[in-house]
């Protein structure tokens, strides 16, 4: 005895944007809005903003403790917020510069040490080798 009867369905409105209501002033707002255009109330959680203090600490770590700066890079560069991403990129650049400076300084110190050792060995000249020969003879 079932008779299929056309059920009245609410007509879909594809052209209308999805609407939400402002929790403060209760006007209708498209869901794509971050803030209420009427009262300015936040409607969606905005991406976390990196404070100036966090920026400075990230840059300091990048410059003075190069490998640990990469932790900040990893943390910030994945952010969807372009400003935070930029901080991550700047931290990465600073980390790379700090690593290059550290490597360059190490090479320079090693070279000057080698030079000093060579000079002091050179001043002994054949005498040094003679001493070694004497030791061998003992
Ligand atoms: Zn509002």
Helix (H, G, I), strand (E, B) or coil at 73: helix
CA of 30 from ligand 1 middle (Å) equals 12
| Residue 69 near residue 63, CB atoms below 8 Å | yes
Angle at 102 between CA 77 and CA 92, to 5 degrees: 10
CA of 18 from ligand 1 middle (Å) equals 16
Helix (H, G, I), strand (E, B) or coil at 83: helix
CA of 37 from ligand 1 middle (Å) equals 7
Phi and psi based region of residue 50 (left: phi greater than 0; alpha: psi -120 to 50; beta: remaining) = beta
Does residue 119 surpass a pLDDT of 80?
yes
CA of 31 from ligand 1 middle (Å) equals 13
CA of 127 from ligand 1 middle (Å) equals 92
Does residue 88 surpass a pLDDT of 70?
yes
CA of 6 from ligand 1 middle (Å) equals 40
Structure confidence by residue, pLDDT tens digits, 9-62: 655 555 666 888 998 999 999 888 888 999 998 887 766 678 899 999 999 999
How far is residue 124's CA from residue 129's CA, in Å, rounded to a whole number? 8
CA of 21 from ligand 1 middle (Å) equals 8
CA of 28 from ligand 1 middle (Å) equals 9
Q: Where are the domains of the chain?
A: 19-45, 52-123
Structure confidence at residue 7 (pLDDT): 63
How far is residue 138's CA from residue 136's CA, in Å, rounded to a whole number? 6
- Angle at which helices 82-124 and 66-77 cross, to 10°: 160
CA of 22 from ligand 1 middle (Å) equals 5
């Amino acid at each position: 005895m079932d008779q299929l009867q056309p059920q009245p369905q609410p007509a879909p409105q594809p052209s209308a944007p999805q609407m939400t209501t402002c929790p403060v002033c209760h006007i209708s707002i498209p869901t794509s809005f971050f803030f209420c255009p009427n009262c300015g109330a936040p409607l969606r959680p905005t991406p976390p903003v990196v404070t100036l203090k966090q920026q400075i600490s990230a840059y300091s770590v990048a410059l003075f403790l190069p490998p640990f700066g990469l932790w900040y890079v990893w943390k910030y560069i994945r952010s969807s917020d372009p400003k935070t991403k930029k901080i991550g990129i700047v931290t990465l650049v600073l980390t790379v510069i700090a690593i290059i400076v550290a490597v360059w300084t190490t090479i320079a110190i090693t070279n000057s040490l080698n030079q000093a050792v060579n000079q002091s060995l050179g001043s002994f000249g054949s005498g040094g080798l003679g001493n070694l020969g004497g030791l061998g003879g003992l």
